[in-house]
Structure 1
Amino acid sequence: MSTTEDRPDFSTIADLFLSHGSMQSPAFLDGRLCAELALHDLTAEAWLEEVCHGLGIEQPRDRESGEALLAWRRQTLDALADAALNYEPLLPDDLFSLAERARGLQEWTLGFLEVIEDAGDKPRQGWSQALREAIEDLEALGGMETDLEDNAENENDLFALTEHARMAAMLLYTEQHPGQPQVESGEPIQH
């Protein structure tokens, strides 16, 4: 079983994107990845195709790059499906300024919401009120001010917003995949 420590960090994926000639933030594609895994059971092939399209390339430049992109998908899925509920969005870490981290969260949110919007109303029909409200809150987050000063208050606010996005992502996944993770039972999942 994978843990969140196995997941690549933001800088690793950003460097991988850069090696393919793209300055794009991985946060946007991570938001899309999370929503697609929840709504569409995104295959490895479809994910690789989507990342390559997003980077403006036909295929990863080498086998290691392709494996890293596929591992990103697999580890995200493992984290979303894990009963420990330890999924974390792929966002800039503390080495980045608060403004850069806020922009990363905004990009993640926009990618996540884009997939939900594209899915239409059908998946929404079975959603709980809590999930509907969480998604509405994320829609407001997509338009947030990202030019934040580095201070404790803004740091706390950004942490709370990031936690909200994380919880919305896990709620979407668990409602679309009832029974996994086995949160209520407290019984370990067999792998």
Structure 2
Amino acid sequence: MSLINERQDFSTIADTFLLHGSMQSPAFLDGRLCAALGLHDLTAEAWLEEVCLTLGVDQPRDEPSAERLLGWRRQTLDALASTELNFEPLLPDEMFSLAERAQGLKEWTLGFLEVVEDAGDAPRKKWSEPLREAIEDLAGLAAIETDIDDSAENENDLFALTEHARMAAMLLYTEQHPGTPQVEQVDETPPTTH
């Protein structure tokens, strides 16, 4: 069975990072991935190259790792392009403390905004007012306090902030890809390494 169709979650990708000697959280890269897919069509090859660069390796150490990393991109693209609006950022789940989850959201937001900033002003001129506001609000998210206690109130606040990030990513994607759900159906098979 191919790993490329497996559901990739935060822990799976973090474990893949660890296999490559990286203690980094995948949240930052997921933010970059979401913005890059929204602003321009990030190819599977370009994504694998960016991940390897971040991990400090020339290529994934084995085929399952490559498939997992490509599956992450595919899953994100499918969710962003879906009419079901079921996209979820790749963030630490309930197994992590609220502080770790807040840190993950902050890193995701920083990655997302980095790609948006790198794109410059040209794409922004075509954005709707709601998208502009959503992106501006994300800047505030990048500065959130992450040293928070596990409490119902903090959990509700974090959920609302995560929902804002999720909606901003979907809004960016749908505005840049109008009327084209499931934009890309190629690259199902990862490049083989010998």
TM-score (structure 1 length as normaliser): 0.91
| 1:139 equivalent in alignment to 2:170 | no
Q: Is the 8 A contact 2:87 2:166 kept in 1?
A: yes
| 1:117 equivalent in alignment to 2:117 | yes
Q: Is the 8 A contact 1:32 1:111 kept in 2?
A: yes
Q: Which residue of the partner structure matches residue 86 of structure 2? A: 86
Q: Is the 8 A contact 1:28 1:112 kept in 2?
A: yes
| 1:150 equivalent in alignment to 2:153 | no
Which digits, 9 at most, give the CA deviation of each residue in 1:70-126, with x for residues without a partner? 111011100000000100000000000000000000000000000000000011111
Q: CA deviation at 1:6?
A: 4.8
Q: Is the 8 A contact 2:35 2:169 kept in 1?
A: yes
Q: Which residue of the partner structure matches residue 186 of structure 1? A: none
Q: What SS does structure 2 have at the residue aligned with 1:96?
A: coil
Q: CA deviation at 1:158?
A: 0.0
Q: What SS does structure 2 have at the residue aligned with 1:88?
A: coil
Q: What SS does structure 1 have at the residue aligned with 2:51?
A: helix
State, as a whole percentage, how many aligned pairs show the same letter: 77
5 Å matches for 1:160-179?
Answer: 160-179=160-179
5 Å matches for 1:67-106?
Answer: 67-106=67-106
Q: Which residue of the partner structure matches residue 50 of structure 1? A: 50
Which digits, 9 at most, give the CA deviation of each residue in 1:42-93, with x for residues without a partner? 0000000000000011100001111110111011100000000100000000
Q: Is the 8 A contact 1:83 1:180 kept in 2?
A: no
Q: CA deviation at 1:40?
A: 1.5
Q: Is the 8 A contact 2:6 2:71 kept in 1?
A: no
Unaligned runs of 5+ in 2: 186-194
Query: Runs (4+) of structure 1 moved beyond 3 Å?
Result: none
CA RMSD across the alignment: 1.5
Q: Which residue of the partner structure matches residue 39 of structure 2? A: 39
> How many residue pairs end up in the alignment?
180
Q: What SS does structure 2 have at the residue aligned with 1:33?
A: helix
1:140 maps to a residue whose letter is G
TM-score (structure 2 length as normaliser): 0.90
